[in-house]
Chain A
Amino acid sequence: MFWSVAEPVGYFTNWFGTPLNTPEGTAEAAKMAMGATMFHWGLHPWAIYAVVGLSLAFFTYNCNMPLTIRSTFYPLLKGKTWGWPGNFIDILAVLATIFGLATSLGFGAQQAAGGLNFLFDIPNTINTQIAIIFVVTIVAIFSVTKGLEGGVKVLSNINMSLAMILMLFVMITGSTMVIINGVGTILVSYVESIIPLSNWIGRQDTAFYHGWTVFYWAWWISWSPFVGMFIARISRGRTVREFMMAVLLVPTLVTTVWMATFGGMGLEQVKNGVGQLANGITDSSLALFQMLENLPLSGITSFLAIVLVLVFFITSSDSGSLVIDSITAGGKIDVPVAQRVFWATLEGIIAAVLLFGGGADALGALQAAAITVGLPFTIVLIIMCFSLIIGLRKEYKMHYSKLKS
């Protein structure tokens, strides 16, 4: 969410490499900045999540296996799925998820503290950040005890409504026509640049390619057990095609409109030399607030943005605990609530302890650990694709022969 302003502006101003070495500050750079941001948040991340989501949905709901990552390997591992190879896959998934969640909670607390400082002059100290982690964790624990229907659903609805209000506000008070045209520009730029940006052979733009794209891919992959299992749970009973629409196309289109609004306004301010953003990115977590500052009612919208970030981290912590709990309970769903509370608490403790003990450096170590776990998990995901194909083929054959006879 913060990145929707910071990322296009960063690419446009060559904050840390530009996509395909496009010269910064040009009209071409502006177009490329939007296309590249869309590339990072578009079909690829959702495809990564969909692989896990679809595999889990098939093996747990159609084949009645436990709701845990290892079940997706049954066609290949057979009985060994429930032994050590399966244990290894599940442990990897738990580590990727908890490291990813705790990292983003820690960085999120720093961002929210930055925002509070920007708005209300609340000192951005370690105490403020830990207080934010504490509040987020307490609300997440409360929500987690209510289960998927009671807690997570209510919070996600609040989250979606707030995000919609904020986006409509920026659309109306910002340069409305620029934003509307931006949707088209982004889609064109995305289509034009998706092939060169997803190519991995002979890349010259190492700073951008390694620093952004590959980093994002590793990061999305380490989130995939969490997001994938979550979408498997909420899409039970859908067909594959409905699932793909809901998981690939709808989020990508919503992201396009979001990017056109926030990224588009950010770029517009940079081009016209308005406000702080025109000086380039100094602190990526402030970019969103710097953009909102130059629109009406910035006090209210910035506050709304902070609330949105907090609710977002509460929902992640909450649904993440449900997912980790399912994996560490061997795929059982109806387990004592205390276990979910344990994981939500542990996540908050990891983030707080590392921030307190080592600051951003310790969080960086945690993030690097999550990225490192992403590498073996990439291989897990590739094998998962094959496993799912075997499973679907087998199911098809069985249905076909039964229908014929």
Chain B
Amino acid sequence: MNGTKPPTQDESMIKNVSVYQTNHIAGEDNVQIWGMDLHNPVFFFSTFLIVTFVTLTLLFPDSAKATFDASKSWSINNFDWLFMAGGNLFVLFNANRASIGQNTPWW
């Protein structure tokens, strides 16, 4: 929001003013190594978890399958309602958005 400028009727100018002001700049937490530009810690954490997952699955294929199947069944058996209710909420949410457009209040 630019407080110094007088308010204007020109909608295209208003569109360019953002409701949220953050001093965060994309990539400011990044580190540059090997000619790459990577977010610290998201890149390193994700890569570490992926490599760990693949290594463990290869070392202990049977227990890896059993563990993840169990966690999958647990999620599906106990949280089936959450997935379903969430799915329905998202459909209604979008229907609501589409019917009222962006520049009207949410109710």
Contact = CB atoms under 8 A, between A and B. Distances in A.
Given A218-B83, A330-B42, 6 more contacts: A54-B94, A65-B26, A198-B84, A221-B83, A378-B79, A394-B19
A75 to B, nearest CB: 7
Interface in A235-264: 239-241, 244-245, 248
A87 B41 contact: yes
Interface of A: 43-44, 47-48, 50-51, 54, 59, 62-68, 74-75, 79, 81-82, 87, 90-91, 94-95, 98-99, 198-201, 209-210, 213-215, 217-218, 221, 239-241, 244-245, 248, 327-333, 335-336, 338-339, 342, 346, 350, 353-354, 357-358, 361-362, 364-369, 371-372, 374-375, 378-379, 381-382, 385, 389, 391-396, 398-399, 402-403, 405
B72 A332 contact: no
Please give me the 4 A-B residue pairs with the lowest Cβ-Cβ distance, nearest first. A66-B26, A244-B98, A368-B68, A200-B84
Interface size bucket, B side? 35 or more
B4 interface: no
B50 A98 contact: yes
Nearest to B37: A335
Given A66-B26, A328-B38, A330-B30, A248 B76 contact: no
B65 A365 contact: yes
A375 B75 contact: yes
B80 A385 contact: no
Contact of B79 (A64, A244, A339, A375): A375
Nearest to A46: B94
Contacts of A44: 87-88, 90-91
Contacts, number: 247
B35 A62 contact: no
Contacts of B53: 99, 366, 369
A403 B14 contact: yes
B45 A91 contact: yes
A396 B7 CA distance: 15
B92 to A, nearest CB: 8
Most chain A Cβ neighbours within 10 Å, of B43, B58, B87: B87
B46 to A, nearest CB: 4
A51 B94 contact: yes
Contacts of B37: 329, 332, 335-336, 339
A65 B24 contact: yes
Interface in B1-47: 1, 7-9, 11, 14-15, 17-20, 22, 24-30, 34-39, 41-43, 45-47
